[in-house]
Amino acid sequence: MGVKAEIAAYLRDEIGAIDKEAPESVALVYPSPYRVAMSSLGYQTIYRTINSIDGMAAHRAFLPDDVETWRQSGTPLLTYERMRPVANYGVIAFSVAYETELAGVIHSLELSGIPPLATDRTSRHPIVFAGGPLTFSNPLPLAPFVDAIVMGEADQSIQPVLRMIFDSVSKESALRNLATHPHVFVPALHGDILPPIDKADDARLPAFSQIMTPHTELRNMFLVEPERGCHRGCSYCVMRRSTNDGMRLVKKERVLSLVPDDAKRVGLVGAATTDHPQITEIVHALVDTGREVGLSSLRADRLNDDLMAALRRGGHRTLTTASDGASQRMREVIHRHTSEEQLRQAALLARRHGMKRLKLYLMVGLPGETNDDIDEMVELGNELSSLIPLSLGVAPFVAKRNTPLDGEPFAGINLVDARLRRLRRGVRGRVDVRATSARWAWVEYVLAQGGRAEGLAVLEAVKAGGRFSDWKRAFNALPADRPRRSLVRPTNRLGRATA
């Protein structure tokens, strides 16, 4: 398929795309492929918000499914709504969720014919800025590649930010104006001092899908957030209560009123959806109208027969929840507090309500973890698998900025792999274990704890081919005496350093 045919094929199956031409337009770029991007509620919300502003339009672009094929085609990166080269826009906005998407930012700029380093660009190049979930923890590695970073929730700051840019007489004055915004970081003017993250007014909530497409993980699913944030305090989590002042609820009636008549599948998403006091009623109400319902982030201590019955009616066949720590001791250490008994009850509830499988997420390589902790999970996993088929989704622990575990070291690729082998060996033949790569978790760790130097190393890794060995070489070549971490910690909106 040609590169333009790839775009046409995706567009053909979309419902809800906004076809707007306006005097001022923004290329809204997601640095991962279409399938990932269109599952992002934040990206879809910003797309709708910009298009709702008088005189402004947002046109989407994505990292191509196959970057090399696109490069060889000689076609510049194009926006979907206009088939217009991204480089022809005055403003390019990236939505960045994960550390490793920095490579996608670099590829997207290069495919657009724009020098990836901000210092190599002139006043004739577009203004490039970024926002998105990564800004809640540590966006500093992005600093060499962008002109500005919008920190935190951009639901309402996006309009004044774009107004500042479009009303400025030059790129330089736009950056000076942006630097006065309390939640915008301008790397050329602010050094490494990050401003506090923004929090949108409750009236802006909830975020909800604009476009439905079969070409995402959450196929043809209308997404809506019944709540934003979390009131709990897990010490590894960026979304914990200190990040944006806890959990904000959206009333059942408001959630239901947003679901379009033709949406057959509805996903209720948020950091802690099962902590919403009306969540069971919301699920029942959606199922009563014949819809399938998906629910993210189920907490084991919030499960009960009524919610399980609602989920089962809504099409759930797998119950997914999290243990996070491999043992009770580790769960206490990370303030997760889920008990073994709650996980056992989750398995029993899932079985009683006819679910086919229980899936548990957990981390390995947490600070202070030993083989005994892994052995406890082996024992529990084997026990639970006698109640219901069990899958474990395992991720190596990566310490994030803006959390109490900020600065904790990575356990090491060899150690994480050894713990994974021990876990697999202990549950072999009884539990399905799926683990994310320890190597790429180390890359994520270096960036999560890093700054501009680590960001520049990503450029070297991308130029060298982007294999793990390229990333490793680029990181290992960094001077040992570089500042390991910025001394400046992100603060919450009240200006307090987070703890």
Site residues for ligand SF4 per CB under 6 A = 230, 232, 234, 237, 239-240, 271-272
Instruction: For the CB of residue 288, give the shortest distance to ligand SF4 in the complex, in Å.
Output: 28
- Nearer Cβ to ligand SF4, position 232 or 265? 232
One-letter amino acid of 74: G
Closest CB 269 distance from ligand SF4, rounded Å: 12
Q: Which of 372, 449, 453 is nearest to 408 (CA)?
A: 449
Burial of 460 from C-beta contacts in 10 A (0-12 / 13-18 / 19+): middle
Nearer to ligand SF4, 143 or 272 (CB): 272
C-beta separation of 238 from 400 below 8 A:
yes
Q: Of 64 and 404, which CB lies nearer to ligand SF4 in the complex structure? A: 404
In this structure, are strands 127-131 and 56-62 parallel, antiparallel, or unpaired?
unpaired
Q: In the bound complex, what is the minimum distance in angstroms from residue 99's beta carbon to ligand SF4?
A: 18
- Least Å distance, CB 376 to ligand SF4, is 20
Q: For the CB of residue 324, give the shortest distance to ligand SF4 in the complex, in Å.
A: 7
Q: How far is the CB of 341 from ligand SF4 (least distance, A)?
A: 18
User: Closer CB to ligand SF4, residue 99 or residue 227?
Assistant: 227
Q: Is there a contact between 168 and 431 (Cβ–Cβ < 8 Å)?
A: no
The residue among 165 and 239 lying less far from ligand SF4, judged by its C-beta, is 239
Cβ 232 to ligand SF4 shortest distance, Å: 4
Beta carbon nearer to ligand SF4, 101 or 275: 275
- Distance from first CA to last CA of the chain, Å, rounded? 50
Contact 228, 206 (CB under 8 A): yes
Comparison of 27 and 398: residue with beta carbon closer to ligand SF4 = 398
Q: Tell which residue, 293, 313, 309, 243, has the closest CA to residue 271.
A: 243
Of the candidates 133, 84, 131, 126, the residue with the CA atom closest to the CA atom of residue 109: 126
Tell me whether residue 232 or residue 359 sits nearer to ligand SF4 (CB atom).
Answer: 232
What span, in angstroms and rounded, lies between the C-alpha atoms of 375 and 327? 8
Question: What is the three-class DSSP state of 229?
Answer: coil
The smaller minimum CB distance to ligand SF4, of residues 60 and 401, is found at 401
Residues forming beta bridges with residue 435, ordered by sequence position: 394
State the nearest-atom distance from the C-beta of 192 to ligand SF4, in Å.
Answer: 26
Q: Are 86 and 112 in contact (CB under 8 A)?
A: yes
Q: Which residues of 278-290 are buried (b: 16+ CB within 10 A; e: fewer)?
A: bbbebbbbbbeee
155 or 324: CB nearest ligand SF4: 324
The residue (of 232 and 419) whose beta carbon lies closer to ligand SF4 is 232
The secondary element (H helix, E strand) that includes residue 424 is helix 413-427
Smallest gap from residue 180 Cβ to ligand SF4 (A): 33
CB of 362 vs ligand SF4, minimal distance in Å? 12
- Residue 270 Cβ vs ligand SF4, minimum distance, rounded to whole Å: 9
- 204's tokens: 């802006």
Q: Where are the alpha helices (DSSP H) in 450-486?
A: 452-464, 468-476
Measured distance CA(306)–CA(278) in Å, rounded: 12
Q: Which is nearer to ligand SF4, 127 or 272 (CB)?
A: 272
Helix (H), strand (E) counts: the chain: 18, 15
Strands, E assignment, 252-342: 265-268, 292-295, 318-324
d(CA 332, CA 413): 24
C-alpha 78 chain-centroid distance: 24
Report the interhelical angle of 340-352 vs 371-385 (nearest 10°). Answer: 20
Q: What is the largest CA-CA distance in the chain?
A: 68
Strand partners, 374: none
- Closest separation in Å from C-beta 183 to ligand SF4: 22
